[in-house]
Amino acid sequence: MSRDLLARLASRWQGVALTLVIGSGTLWLAATGQLVLYIHPRYVVFTVVMIVVGMLLSLLALALGGGDDAAQDHGHDHGPRPRRRLRGALTAAGAVVTVGLALGLILLPPATLSSSTASTRGLGEGVAVAGPAAGGAGGGAGAGAAGAPAASDAATAKYTVLQWATTLRQTSDLSFYENKRVDVTGFVSPSPTDPADTFIVTRFVITCCAVDAQPVGVTVYAPNWRSSLKPDQWVRITGAFTANPSRTSTASIALVPRSLTPVARPADPYLT
Amino acid sequence: MTTLRTADEPALGGDAPHGEHGEHADHPPHPRGRRLLGAGLVVLAALVAARAATGALGPGILPDRLQDFVTLTLSVIVESMPFVLLGIVLSIVVQVWLPATFFAAWLPRNPVLRRAVISLLGVFLPVCECGNVPLARGLVVKGFSVSDSMTFLIAAPIVNPITILTTYQAFGWSDGVLVSRVLGGFVIANLLGWLYAKKQDQDQLLAPAFAAECRVDAGGPHHEHGAGMRLASSATLFRREMATLLPALFVGAAIAGAVQTLVPRSVLLVLGSNPVWSIAAMMALAFVISICSNVDAFFVLPFASTFLPGGLVAFLVFGPIVDIKMLTLLRTTYRPVVLVQLALVVGLVAAALGLVVNLVA
């Protein structure tokens, strides 16, 4: 097969091929319950329906031979030579990116965002992280946290990292946290101010898709945690909040674990 | 205004064999179609098998940063894809299945009024920005002038029921965010439509490849009768639009993903409480994040506690029209100089609107 014919075939069918790539990747994610690693659960049904429509149209286009391509054979590469070369380079770069991502979608195991992105996105201690505290977007989570200072012990026992993080931003009154049992799951992010003895148990909160993931976290005081844990390890922690014993950490209140168990990544790693 | 095609013209040369792809999809299914379908199904089976086989591989294949870049980029693609498909389906309906005179019949003749009506078409076509690029392309092919289609292109992502609903859910009536957003989108769309209507040669606004496509389509087989013919045209259109738009979507998503992996979010957040900088920061964020207008209100809601409302409005007006992904998609249709002008006008109006909201609120 000549190179020219191959190029023509590629430019002719690249859209259909990419639709099939995205389609099989997305449907597989949906079938294995992992589509929520990329988008908010409320868009799963819409996404699956449209993807199925797209794949049927792709197969229809194949079955009908694709029609003629007269229009696309004109209008290319009439510019002066240097511009043509630049355009060629850009096209090649675009092709590399596109093929790379297509391979990634099909061959790489799906992943959640890591703690390094959490720190890029402003996970911190005592810093007003833009979390969905305003209510509304978080739905139940936001609404629950809004009434936090009056919440009963039974309610707070089920609090997620998000709800505790919101509560901690609202009140730093230690007496509020007395006798409150904490049971949270999240992944380990090193504390920026005391990386040796404290870490932040972190979750990402998404409102649309992984692109908008916002990290929220609760500072955990666990001296020398690196001896048994690594960043990004998922853990379940039970314990209670006290004044933070760490000298360098800027968080005034920290969670002191009674038990700290490494766990597998939950099926719904993002809070919504 | 210039009309790019006259729908009722007889098909001049449109039915003659083109280049080496002489055969038409007139009589499906023909042998080539069967071979292609077979090949497609084999590819599909290989994709599914590869995906299922590699799905259980452990994490840590890529370094953290690179993996996060891939995750973010794929998430933009997976999130946008259904909207792109919705837009293409609607575009196919407009181009192939609606009568040629469908819009011409009832749109007002007066240009200003006509554009005002067109900018409200979005109310019936719930597409966000990635979906309305193919739809606007379809409208141009259908005989809309470029400036008219531009009015639709810019208004539709904001003045559409899903966007209005999600913005209402997120903000209610507080601080006039919803009202400013919808009015802002409407005004910007009509302003740009009016500006570009002054351009005599509307073809000059289009990317050469797309302009050529429009000229050929003017004599194309689309308005032939018969369901089989229309089905074939639909399939061709789908193949062509996807071939143009999906690589653009991939590249746009990759750039957006890379910027987000590299630029710390805190840089933007520090700027949030200043009346002027909050607007610039939110517009920069909108440009980078490239998420669809149907859902961006939820995205921006968490920032309501740190940013002034003017910044949010600027985000909600600027983002749907100008962002990395959208510019790459628009590049398939318009000349670069048009994109620069468009970004400039939208940016200035969005910023002005944000300032007014900050002063009033």
pLDDT tens digits for range B63-95: 888 999 999 899 889 988 888 898 888 878 877
pLDDT, tens digit, 9 for 90 and up, residues B154-176:
898 898 887 888 888 778 887 88
Least confident interval from A197-206, A262-271, B146-155, B266-275:
B266-275
* DSSP secondary structure letter of residue A68: -
- The rounded percent of chain B whose pLDDT value lies above 70 is 85
Mean pLDDT of B137-152: 84
Question: Given A28, A117, A122, which is nearest B68 (Cβ)?
Answer: A117
Q: Of B175, B173, B170, B167, give the one whose Cα is nearest residue B358.
A: B175
Output the pLDDT for position B225.
62
Quick check: A50 and B85 CB within 8 A? yes
- HSE of B93 in the Cβ direction (CA atoms, 13 Å)? 7
Output the pLDDT for position A127.
39
Segment 311-350 of chain B within 8 Å of chain A by CB: none
Cis peptide before A269 (omega within 30 of 0): no
Segment 261-300 of chain B within 8 Å of chain A by CB: 261, 263-266, 269, 289-292, 295-296, 298-299
Quick check: A53 and B89 CB within 8 A? yes
Residue A44 sits at the chain B interface (C-beta within 8 Å): no
Q: Higher confidence at residue A125 or residue B220?
A: A125
Candidate ranges A117-121, B273-277, B307-311; pick with highest mean pLDDT: B307-311
Residues in chain A closer than 8 A to B78 (CB atoms): 22, 25-26, 29, 35, 38-39, 47, 209
Mean pLDDT of A185-204: 90
Asked if residue A125 lies in contact with residue A251, where contact means CB atoms within 8 angstroms, the answer is: yes
Q: Which residues pair with A190 in a beta bridge?
A: A199
Q: Of B58, B69, B260, give the one whose Cα is nearest residue A114.
A: B69
Cβ-proximal residues to A47 (8 Å cutoff; 6+ apart), any chain: A26, A30, A35, A39, B78, B79, B81, B82
Output the pLDDT for position B16.
38
3-state secondary structure of A234: strand
H-state helical runs in B142-207: 146-155, 161-171, 177-197
Output the pLDDT for position B300.
77
Residues in chain B closer than 8 A to A131 (CB atoms): 302
Residue A172 sits at the chain B interface (C-beta within 8 Å): no
Cβ-proximal residues to B91 (8 Å cutoff; 6+ apart), any chain: B134, B135, B137, B138, B237, B241
Q: Which residues pair with B206 in a beta bridge?
A: B334
Question: A–B: how many Cβ contacts below 8 A?
Answer: 324
Report if pTM > 0.80: no
Buried b / exposed e along A232-260 (16+ C-beta atoms within 10 A): bebbbbebebeebebeebebebbbbbeeb
Instruction: Give the confidence band of A251 by pLDDT, cuts at 50, 70, 90.
Output: confident
Is A27 a residue whose pLDDT tops 90? yes
Mean pLDDT of B128-141: 79
Quick check: B19 and A70 CB within 8 A? yes
The two structure tokens encoding residue B281? 């920061």
The two structure tokens encoding residue B253? 């998503």
Output the pLDDT for position A186.
93
User: For chain B, what percentages of helix, strand and coil (3-state, to nearest 5) are there?
Assistant: 70, 0, 30
Give me the phi and psi of B9, to 5 degrees please. -65, 140
Is A133 a residue whose pLDDT tops 60? no
pLDDT, tens digit, 9 for 90 and up, residues B20-67:
344 444 455 567 788 889 989 999 999 999 998 988 787 778 888 899
3-state secondary structure of B151: helix
Q: How far is CA A99 from CA A54, A260, B152, B247, in A?
A: 19, 42, 32, 9
What spatial distance separates the first Cα and last Cα of chain A, rounded to whole Å?
51
The two structure tokens encoding residue B89? 């389906």
ipTM exceeding cut-off 0.85 for this assembly:
no
The two structure tokens encoding residue A78? 């009439």
- HSE of A84 in the Cβ direction (CA atoms, 13 Å)? 7
Q: Compute the Cα dihedral for B220, A74, B248, B54 and give only its sign.
A: positive
What are the DSSP calls for A3-59, one per residue?
HHHHHHHHHHHHHHHHHHHHHHHHHHHHHTT-GGGTB-GGGHHHHHHHHHHHHHHHH
What are the DSSP calls for B50-118, one per residue?
HHHHHTT--S-SS-HHHHHHHHHHHHHHHHHHHHHHHHHHHHHIIIIIS-TTTTTTTS-SSHHHHHHHH
Segment 81-100 of chain B within 8 Å of chain A by CB: 81-83, 85-86, 88-89
Q: Which residues pair with A107 in a beta bridge?
A: none
Residue B39 and residue A246: Cα distance in Å, rounded? 63
Residues in chain A closer than 8 A to B266 (CB atoms): 122
